[in-house]
Amino acid sequence: MSELDFQEDNTESLDIKALVMRYLRYWYLFVIGAAIALMAAHLYLRYSTPVYSIKATILIKDESGADLATSGVLGDLAGLKVSKSFSNEVLIIKSKGLMERVLQELGLEVSYFGEGRIKSPELYGGRSPVKAVIAQLDSTGLGKNFIVEIEDGNTFSIWEGENKVSTHKFGEQIRKKYGVFTIVADSDVTNDQGRRILVRFNDLRKLASRYSKGLGVRSINEFATVMELSLTDPVPAKGKDILNKLIEVYNRESINEKNLAVTKTIQFIDERLIYLTGELSAVEKDVQNYLQENRIIDQSASGGLYLNTAHGLKQQITDNEIKLEILKSVESYLQKEENKYELVPTSLDISDPTLGGLIANFNNLQNQRRRLGRSVTESNPILRNVNEQLDILRLNILENIRNIREGLLVIRRNLQANARQFESQVWQVPSMQRELTEINRQQGVKEGLYLFLLQKREEAALSQAITPSNSRVIDPAVAGGSPIEPQSTNIYLIALLAGLAIPFAGIFLRDMLNDTVIEIRDVERATPTPILGEIGHNDTDQMLVISQQSRSSSAELFRLLRANLQFAAGGKENKVILVTSSMSGEGKTFFSLNLAASLVMTGKKVIVLGFDLRKPKLTQGVNLPNNIGITNYLISDTVEVEDLIQFAPEMQELAIIGSGPIPPNPAELMLLPKIGTLIDELKAAFDYIILDSSPVGQVADSLALAPYIDSSLYIVRYNYTHKKQLQIIDELYKSRKLKHPMIVLNDAKKSNSYGYSYGYGYGYGNYYEEDGKKGLGGKLRKLVKG
């Protein structure tokens, strides 16, 4: 690494250190900011309402339907398989309708809150001493708040806002514009006298919507149908009740949906039984009438072979008629438009496996459509797809029924033909017996169908009684032991960062908006003009702070600056020194007097001339009169130099010439040749002549003294001189309008002087280092060489 690279890295390191130290000076602001922020965080945590997480785990049972690819009728739909969808169950559990029914069963139409100064905790689960029983409530009462104040064990008053509107007895019906309700109390509210309870009538739809949105549902494992339900609520007991009731209602409704098909089957069988009962009664009555009319007592069989064979054929014809009757009923049921989205009876002992599978799949799809209809609209693509599948299944079921019916009709015709053959062989049987046999055959068909339906009804009722639930609870709702919001650690951390960031931002913005010179780097970045040194802040009201006994930081800095000035001369004559600045108030006169005093203490003869003819301050600073001075010398030929010289009362060796009366034309006076004569005469008598001139940034008077000076000192005051005014000294340095210009930084404080001279031992090594690479010593060597 080269020497130049090393210097650049070191400079950058020094800048970072200076930046850190700049903010560390205001450590008390960071301490105060952090303390206030932490206190605010403590108050926030104390008065904020904690929120708890409640979780439950359930297992969704897999109830897949039959694979339709196994059906010969639907072989072209091999990819279609009806099964319960886990995603559909998630939508159902998160549905607003289901949540609204849960809240309704928990009685959350009304909420109660204890009145507090800052927050009002909810009184849930019997913690409220009063209850509101709603008899009637319209839409304007939803979200209505009022306060119940218990006056004694029998009466209470209602407050709306800050106004007491009415007084009532417990149990009395209260009529308002928005509804009718009753306030009841616990058995004993005497100890709660004066207690105020906030009562709120909730809008269950909005409340259900909020809980549904906040309900978290996720799958525990992608290979299992285990579902985790989560909810957050400031009242853990209420959150647990909501989750447990949600699971309960979900299971109950799924059982009801499963039982709906069985209920439809029982309803269908009951209708058929009523009809068959009437027909069976009519046939039995016909038998009774026929026997009575023909006086038949013994119905013994005639023609043994015919009767045995005919009995078998009759039984087959009866079974065939039962099947045809069932198919006819199912076909008629499916063809009715009002049954388009109703379940098909399934417990009718349909022997054909294909037809049974189709009806089972049709009912599963109907259940799925019914459950989806609660969560989605008719235009939903999933619901439309289910409707299309139902239409296809309905057509296939009807087609299958027609095929089965045609086969049964063929069988019936064959059985009837065989029966007629046997009947033709029994001509010898009395006609009366044949007629009775026909009536008995009809009676047997009706009885067989009646008994069959009665048996199926009992089977359906038994199935309804043992219907399993749709899910199984693995872990019931449990609330976390500590709140999830607010998290005290995070809140304190954020508050601490904010407490530190706000003072930092304030200091940063202040520095950004401050266009004055803050530190020496502002000068170094603005101009290459050499910096002679710094002058510390003067805490006293005295203009002259330098004396033989003075050991203050300001005195030491003037001594250091005096040494730097001698070093900057580089062995050349440096008698006449011009002191100027950008504007008034930057400390030219203060610097001129004290620089002169520090030179006097080395045994030199020094005189200070007040060349600021517009605003004279030199003589006033040392309590000397200003009745005669440079103005008198320039406009009069009788005034001698000796007449102008005065000596400072506090330092008799320090000679001073004031500016004199303020002239009307100071610019013209500064151009008179007598100024050169004045300076030449003084150079013969004094070792140093310091010219306290006017601000070069405001008037051009100081430039008229340029031919007579050996060097010039430009005063820049911290937190006073504007950064843009540094362009003045930069232009003077580059144009060489003033000889050997150097900058003196005035009014230095610790906030401005990090890394530079301030007080004993604070800057000697920085301003005057032996290696000549750092500090003012190095800069002055460059100045001498230049």
Distance CA 334, CA 327 (A): 11
Give the rounded distance of the alpha carbon of 347 from its chain centre.
56
- Sheet strand arrangement including 741-748: 531-536, 741-748, 711-717, 576-581, 688-693, 606-611, 651-657, 646-648
Q: Is 589 helix (H, G, I), strand (E, B) or coil?
A: helix
Same domain, 453 and 596: no
Residues 619 and 653 in one domain: yes
Res 67: pLDDT:
36
pLDDT at residue 269 tops 90: no
Per-residue pLDDT for 763 more than 50? Answer: no
Q: Are 615 and 603 in contact (CB under 8 A)?
A: no
The whole-angstrom separation of Cα 502 and Cα 42 is 18
Strand 711-717 and strand 576-581: the pairing is parallel
CA-based nearest residue to 346, from 252, 237, 261, 436: 261
Q: Which of 447, 478, 512 is the last residue of a domain?
A: 512
Q: Do 625 and 737 share a domain, yes or no?
A: yes
For residues 593 and 117, the model is more confident at 593
- Number of domain units in the chain: 3
Same domain as 504, residue 425: no
- Does pLDDT of 775 surpass 70? no
Same-domain status, 639 and 688: yes
Strand-pairing partners, residue 414, are: none
Distances (CA, A) of 97 to 54, 142, 243: 21, 18, 15
- pLDDT tier at 432 (50, 70, 90 boundaries)? low
* CA distances, 648 to each of 132, 574, 589, 614, 642 (Å): 95, 23, 14, 22, 15
Q: For residue 483, give the 3-state DSSP assignment.
A: coil
| pLDDT (average), residues 648-660 | 90
| Residue of 702, 728, 707, 706 whose CA lies nearest to 716 | 728
Give the neighbor-by-neighbor strand order of the sheet with 110-114. Answer: 110-114, 196-201, 145-150, 155-160, 163-169
Residue 296 within any structural domain of the chain: no
- Tell me: do 717 and 623 sit in the same domain: yes
In this prediction, residue 293 carries a pLDDT of 64
Higher pLDDT, 715 or 311: 715
* Mean pLDDT of the region 196-222: 88
Q: Render pLDDT for 47-95 as a digit per residue (tens, 0 to 9).
A: 788 888 999 998 887 654 433 333 333 333 333 333 346 778 888 888 8
195: in domain = no
Indicate the residue type of 327: L
Considering the domain boundaries, does residue 390 fall inside one? yes
Of the chain, the end-to-end C-alpha distance in Å amounts to 28
Whether 665 and 579 map to the same domain: the answer is yes
Confidence of residue 255 (pLDDT cuts 50, 70, 90): confident
Cα(681)–Cα(592) distance, integer angstroms: 20
Q: Considering the domain boundaries, does residue 529 fall inside one? A: no
- pLDDT of amino acid 497: 94
Residue 778 lies in a domain: no
What confidence tens digit (pLDDT) does each residue in 132-185 have?
998 888 888 888 889 888 888 788 998 888 888 888 988 889 988 888 999 898
- Residue type present at position 757: S
Distance, CA of 557 to CA of 552 (rounded, Å): 9
| Sign of the torsion formed by the C-alpha atoms of 26, 31, 36 and 40 | positive
Q: Is 171 inside a domain boundary?
A: no
Residues 430 and 543 in one domain: no
Residue 541 is part of which domain span? 537-754
In a domain, 98, yes or no: no
Q: Are residues 446 and 546 in the same domain?
A: no
Per the listing, tokens 């051009």 go with 700
Are residues 588 and 441 part of one domain?
A: no
CA gap 680, 678 in Å, rounded: 6
pLDDT tier for residue 688 given thresholds of 50, 70 and 90: very high
- DSSP structure class, residue 83: -
Q: Which of 87-91, 507-511, 703-707 has the highest mean pLDDT?
A: 703-707
CA distances from 223 to 79, 139, 341, 472, 720 (A): 22, 47, 33, 17, 75
Mean pLDDT, rounded, of the chain: 79
CATH number of the domain encompassing residue 623: 3.40.50.300
Residues 414 and 498 in one domain: no
Using CA atoms, how far apart are residues 176 and 162, in angstroms rounded to an integer? Answer: 18
Choice among 127-131, 281-285, 395-399, 706-710 with the minimum mean pLDDT:
281-285
User: Average pLDDT for residues 443-468, to the nearest whole number?
Assistant: 71
Indicate whether 434 and 495 sit together in one domain. no
For residue 384, tell me if it sits in a domain. Answer: yes
